[in-house]
Amino acid sequence: MMKFYLILFFSFFYSLTYSQRFDKVVIKSTHVHGSVYMLEGAGGNIGLAIGDSSVLMIDSQFGELSDRILNEIRTISDKPIQYLVNTHWHGDHTGGNENFNTHQTTIVAHENVRKRLSTDQFTKAFNRTSPAKPSSYWPEVSYSEELSLFLNPSKILIMHVDSAHTDGDSFVFFPEDNVLHLGDCFFNKRFPYIDLSAGGSIQGLIKAVQTALMVADEDSFIIPGHGALATRDDLLEYYTVIRGMFEAIEDAMQRGVSLDELKQAELDKGIESWGEGFISTAKFIDTIWTDLDRRK
């Protein structure tokens, strides 16, 4: 009997802490430039573009936050959400898909997002399986290389970068407003997560950031997947750091340095705090090492 109480207590405690996880989250919106806004809460940064008769939304954070997100969107515009673009399949970017998926809204993403949301996904780095999502979460329009969307009167470009953060990453570019949403290919002033189990790779990520640096100019506004609104200079700094670490680790590996030795190495000044987020410095080194090691 005692044991039963204990289990009951634990499961109650667990569900309480899980639902409380989002209790204190406040959705904050920032005007980026022209018709584009950025919304921050918990999970990936949301982009919002206001057209003449409808709005476009990029990513949907967690399902628990959908009411709060919609309330914040309604302080900016009361027009219907015509498109919801997912930058990739992760739950902190697609968790609200079902709630936003009304008959007025079309979910758009790379074809591999649909593939991954509709099947069980095992993530080796966290030894965790994300079960397949119901069809109400899946993109209704998918593409393979690039796609143009029209949010009257503006044209919006969606481009795929291959094997970077995942195998289904999209960049969303607003040429008229010079705003670029990079999804999780860009963690501003933090080490990025690379989902090796879902087709991501460090070399692909570096290449994707190179592409973003070519699209952006000095006046661009860049929305990262995580972290504060950025400029091209911030993106260039991120590129320099991740490329530098990749090259140093690749070189050390060839010289026979061990993974443990690498983790003891000192970081450059100014980037010590980059490992204080979701991905620690050791975890980032581990990811690059694992990625290079499996290619040997």
Q: CA–CA separation, 111 vs 137, rounded Å?
A: 13
* Contacts of residue 15, Cβ cutoff 8 Å, sequence gap at least 6: none
Q: CA–CA separation, 267 vs 63, rounded Å?
A: 37
The pattern of x and - marking residues 24 through 63 that bind Zn ion according to CB under 5 A reads ----------------------------------------
Cα 123 to the center of its chain, rounded Å: 16
Can residue 116 be called a binding residue for Zn ion (CB under 5 A)? no
Q: Which stretch binds Zn ion (CB under 5 A): 49-57, 88-96, 174-182, 197-205?
A: 88-96
Geometric angle at alpha carbon 55, from 142 and 71, rounded to 5°: 115
Q: CA–CA separation, 102 vs 97, rounded Å?
A: 10
Q: What SS3 class is residue 155?
A: strand
Q: Which is nearer to Zn ion, 54 or 130 (CB)?
A: 130
- Of positions 184, 187, 192, 194, contacts Zn ion by CB under 5 A: 184
User: How many residues sit close enough to Zn ion to count as binding (CB under 5 A)?
Assistant: 2
Shortest spacing between CB 190 and Zn ion, in angstroms: 12
Q: Which is nearer to Zn ion, 55 or 194 (CB)?
A: 194
Q: Which is nearer to Zn ion, 90 or 232 (CB)?
A: 90
Shortest spacing between CB 62 and Zn ion, in angstroms: 13
The DSSP result for 14-44, as a single string, is HHHHHHHTTTT---EEEEEETTEEEEESSSS
- Of positions 90, 133, 189, 232, contacts Zn ion by CB under 5 A: 90
Q: Which is nearer to Zn ion, 151 or 164 (CB)?
A: 164
| Interface contacts to Zn ion, rule CB under 5 A | 90, 184
